[in-house]
Amino acid sequence: MTALTLSTAAAAGLRADVVVVGVAKGDKGPVVAPGAEAVDQAFDAKLGSVLETLGASGGDGEVTKLPSPAGVKAPVVLAVGLGALPEKDETFATDTLRRAAGVAARALNGTKKAAFALPVEDAEDVAAIAEGAALGAYAFVAYKENGKDAKAKKDAKGPLAEAVILGGKPRDKEYKAAIERATALAEEMNRARDLINTPPNDLDPEAFAAVAQAAAKEHGIKVQVLDEKALAKGGFGGILGVGVGSDAPPRLVKLTYTSSKAKKSLAFVGKGITYDSGGISLKPAGHNETMKCDMAGAAAVFAAVVTAARLGLEVNVTGWLALAENMPSGSATRPGDVLRMYSGKTVEVLNTDAEGRLVLADALAKASEDKPDAIVDVATLTGAMMLALGSRTFGIMANDDAFRTSVHEIAEEVGEPAWPMPLPEHLKKGMDSPTADIANMGERMGGGLVAGLFLQEFVGEGIAWAHLDIAGPAFNDGGPFGYTPKGGTGTAVRTLVRLAERTAAGDLG
């Protein structure tokens, strides 16, 4: 990953291949943002009008590269748009900086060293720029052989090697911590993206569990993997019922990070369907090509637990990865089958494509046994949530209004678009089954909420619980934007990590 460093050097004087400056959209054309004064001076204070002549406006996502004048050590200046100028007495929003750094880093593939001379007010801004640069520089090239040999792959433009963030105070503890946090967070988020992007023939439940085991070992996290035999012995009918049609058997992974100073405990539960074909209720063509992304919830949970461990957060965090492949076969669960879940409840499977709630139900029931202070599950659960909120916003449901509000505030704060959704009681009736305790499907309308209500049935009494339906933002089918690449995005990782930090600090109930 892009190495992140801090420097006090002046923007014009630092030896780098490129210097990144910010430019905002002013009333009378582009305005050079604070942090780039020295670079502007080298342009005789005309950088704004030079950019305007080149067609730039300072708009969000805009990138302009120009050769440096004498007096700027880096041979190239990259001006990145910051959007509207902030109101008087206000500063650029942290996510504006994160996105701008991401846009710039994305335009710097193949570059060795770039200096980021963006407007910095505090350590939080430095963290945002560092995060944005490392996340924007991400590229998934593991399978790009170009039909030739390993050399062609090596020649493929690698991501930006080093991002030097200017304007901070490298010896200041707060700034150093900001860079360390950004490095750990972006590395784990990028690893989550790699897992999501890895084709399902190379990432089945067993392979995912092996990756989790190796990382846990590296970071002092306790790990326990239940294989299909242990799952059968334990009565995990939901996870087994989803995985039974596949030649690649399911797994339940428990990651346990503990801090000797912890006063609170959190459990994160991730949906880890390494491929969702729909099962016997097979998805039609057009709906299955990107279903390798159906383990994005488990990838986010995995990344969050490892990040918590790397940062030594003073809170206990348990991660549950409910891993299975949903395939049709002679041994697959049929619509009409009844599963006996880990909790003891029976579920009539009316649609084998509503598999996420089945694996999550078992993991939620199991996680509840430890009586954590709160449980958050993360899942690419329903197409309905995508219809409701679009492709960039995840839905938050909860059994506790205050907890849902906290999770929403945290998501907004870290730059992850999210929105609260209700769990209307009356929708439960639709899941009545003539045969079993509950069916895995209900009314079509409000399908995302129906799924949430199903999950709620498996959460232990008295435990605060939130459900993040990330079906929209987990996988970017469109072009890259900001610090978000095509493919796996790593959404929800930052919300989970900040929730753990907040809980450690005692800011939450």
- Shortest approach of Zn ion to residue 355 CB, angstroms? 6
Of 2-10, 232-240, 297-305, 379-387: span binding ligand BES (CB under 6 A) = 379-387
Question: Among residues 20 and 295, whose Cβ is nearest to Zn ion?
Answer: 295
Residue 317, classified by CB atoms within 10 Å of its CB into exposed (0-12), middle (13-18) or buried (19+), is buried
- Which of 62, 187, 276, 501: binder of Zn ion (CB under 5 A)? 276
The answer to whether residue 377 forms part of the interface with Zn ion (CB under 5 A) is: no
Number of residues that bind ligand BES (CB under 6 A): 16
Among 323, 361, 384, 407, binds ligand BES (CB under 6 A): 384
Among 253, 255, 365, 471, binds ligand BES (CB under 6 A): 471
Per-residue H/E/C for 364-410: HHHHHCCCCCEEEEEECCCHHHHHHHCCCCEEEEECCHHHHHHHHHH
Q: How far apart are CA 355 and CA 349, in angstroms?
A: 9
**Is 208 in contact with 272 (CB distance < 8 Å)?**
yes
**Does residue 457 touch Zn ion according to CB under 5 A?**
no
Distance CA 267, CA 256 (A): 9
d(CA 320, CA 84): 42
Please provide residue 306's backbone torsions phi and psi, each rounded to the nearest 5 degrees: -65, -40
Question: Hey, CA dihedral for 39, 45, 50, 55, is it positive or negative?
Answer: positive
Strands 464-469 and 374-379: parallel
Q: Work out whether 448 is an interface residue with Zn ion (CB under 5 A).
A: no
Run of H or E residues at 346: strand 346-348
Nearer to ligand BES, 22 or 447 (CB): 447
Give whole-number Cα distances, 286 to 46, 166, 277, 352, 470, in Å. Answer: 51, 46, 11, 18, 20
What's the CA gap between 280 and 246, in Å, rounded?
11
- Choose which of 60, 95, 228, 294 interacts with ligand BES (CB under 6 A): 294
Amino acid letter, 276: D
Minimum distance from residue 458 beta carbon to ligand BES (Å): 17
Distance separating alpha carbons of residues 279 and 340, to the nearest angstrom:
19
194 contacts which partner out of Zn ion, ligand BES, Mn ion, none, CB within 5 to 8 A by kind? none
Q: Indicate whether 353 belongs to the interface with ligand BES (CB under 6 A).
A: yes
Considering beta carbons, is residue 273 or 396 the nearer one to Zn ion?
Answer: 273
As a whole number of Å, the CA-based R_g of the chain is 24
Strands 475-476 and 487-488: antiparallel
The distance of closest approach from Cβ of residue 70 to ligand BES in the complex, given in angstroms and rounded to an integer, is: 53
* 444 labelled catalytic: no
Contact 117, 73 (CB under 8 A): no
The residue from 357, 366, 404, 502 that is catalytic is 357
Q: Is 356 in the site for Zn ion (CB under 5 A)?
A: yes
- Establish if 355 lies at the interface with ligand BES (CB under 6 A): yes
Site for Zn ion in 194-223 (CB under 5 A): none
In the chain, what are the helix, strand and coil shares in percent, each to the nearest 5? 35, 20, 40
Question: Which candidate, 275, 465, 273, 468, places its Cα nearest to that of 359?
Answer: 273
Kindly indicate which of the ranges 33-41, 50-58, 255-263, 383-391 contains the residues binding ligand BES, using the contact rule CB under 6 A: 383-391
Q: Is 243 in the site for ligand BES (CB under 6 A)?
A: no
Instruction: Confirm or reject binding of residue 276 to ligand BES (CB under 6 A).
Output: yes
Which string of x and - marks every residue 420-459 that binds ligand BES (by CB under 6 A)? ---------------------x-----x------------
| Residue 441 binding result from ligand BES, Zn ion, Mn ion, none, given CB thresholds of 5 to 8 Å by partner type | ligand BES
Contact set with Mn ion (CB under 5 A): 276, 353, 355
| Set 153, 169, 283, 345: catalytic member | 283
H/E run at residue 6: strand 3-7
Q: Is 469 in the site for ligand BES (CB under 6 A)?
A: no
Distance CA 209, CA 190 (A): 18
380 scored as a contact of ligand BES (CB under 6 A): yes
384: partner contacted, choices Mn ion, ligand BES, Zn ion, none (Cβ within 5-8 A by kind): ligand BES
Nearer to ligand BES, 353 or 416 (CB): 353
Whole-angstrom Cα distance, residue 252 to residue 264?
A: 24
Q: What is the C-alpha separation between 197 and 346, in angstroms, rounded?
A: 34
Q: Assess whether 283 carries a catalytic annotation.
A: yes
30 binds, among Mn ion, ligand BES, Zn ion, none (CB under 5 to 8 A by kind): none
CB of 198 to ligand BES, least distance (A): 17
Q: Whose Cβ is closer to Zn ion: residue 236's or residue 483's? A: 236
Judged by beta carbon distances under 5 to 8 A according to partner kind, the member of ligand BES, Zn ion, Mn ion, none in contact with residue 422 is none
* Burial group, residue 426, by CB count within 10 angstroms (0-12, 13-18, 19+): exposed
Nearest to Zn ion by Cβ — which residue? Answer: 276
Q: Is 446 in the site for Zn ion (CB under 5 A)?
A: no
Residues in contact with ligand BES by the rule CB under 6 A? 276, 294, 351, 353-356, 380-384, 386, 441, 447, 471
List contacts with Zn ion (CB under 5 A): 273, 276, 294, 356
Kindly list the catalytic residues: 283, 357
